[in-house]
Amino acid sequence: MGIGQEMTAFDIMGKVLNVTKPNTSISDIKLEIIRIKRGKEKIKVREFTRFQKNYKSGIFKFKSLARLKKPQTVKGTGLLTWAYKNGKTDQWFFLPKLKTVKRVKSKERSKSFMGTDFIYEDLESRKLGQDSLAFIGVEYINGRHCRVIMAWPKNESTYHSRKIWVNSEYWKIQKIEFYSQETQKLKTLTILDFIESNGFVLPGKMVMAKEDGKRTVMEIKNFQSNVGLKDEIFSESYLIKF
């Protein structure tokens, strides 16, 4: 049996989802939204801080709050996410200009997050059992051994399927291709590097590139683990504080 055939697709995704994570974390993240206009690249820069708390018991898998800091025109904008262990995800969006919290409805999951090439569905958390999975082989990306699987959502989704490369060293996703139809690729997410902090491994830089040339680069500039975050941070009342 070959090295990639020792585990099923279910086993592989199980290891990805069960990688040890910090109880809490704070990440400073830089976004570059890249567009081509008249043959030239135009880049918009966004900076935000993400607070996250992972739960070992109870109904929640994690809660996170992303708060935009730069530029000034979007400062204070926030996204609150509650991911449940049953696979459900609740999200709330806050725009300072409107001074109100708006819940992200299921029909809005396919909309762009802050003008990037990530949609709200990309920011959700999936659980084992939400996708039909198939192991399709082994490939190397930048010298890293990856197990490759296909995932077809069982419930409503923007995507027809996803092709996922899993790094066999860290059990982290290295690359994802998103398909709207069986042979119609929409975009590709590539993890360019990983960073290690206090024994935890996380994506350091990732690129979401669409087939039309649009792309978004997301890079972690600073990461703090197990910093101690109170539950009140992950609430609608805290979301409107900026």
Mean pLDDT of the chain, nearest integer: 91
Q: What is the CA radius of gyration of the chain?
A: 18
Residue 62 is encoded by which pair of tokens?
């994690």
Residue 38, classified by CB atoms within 10 Å of its CB into exposed (0-12), middle (13-18) or buried (19+), is exposed
3-state secondary structure 112-157: ECCCCCCEHHHHCCCCCCCEEEEEEEEEEECCEEEEEEEEEECCCC
Residue 130 has pLDDT above 60, yes or no: yes
What percent of the chain clears pLDDT 90, i.e. is strictly above it?
72
Question: What range defines the domain where residue 69 resides?
Answer: 3-239
Of all helices (H) and strands (E), which one includes residue 237?
helix 236-239
Quickly state the pLDDT bin for 2 (edges 50, 70, 90).
very low
**What is the tally of structural domains in the chain?**
1
Give the domain CATH number at 123: 2.50.20.10
What average pLDDT score do residues 88-107 get?
A: 89
Quickly state the pLDDT bin for 80 (edges 50, 70, 90).
very high
What pLDDT score does 114 carry?
83
Residue 1 has pLDDT above 90, yes or no: no
What pLDDT score does 242 carry?
64
Neighbours of 15 (CB within 10 A): 15
Contacts (Cβ under 8 Å, ≥6 apart) of 58 = none
Among the ranges given (41-45, 106-110, 172-176, 208-212), the one the predictor scored with the smallest mean pLDDT? 106-110
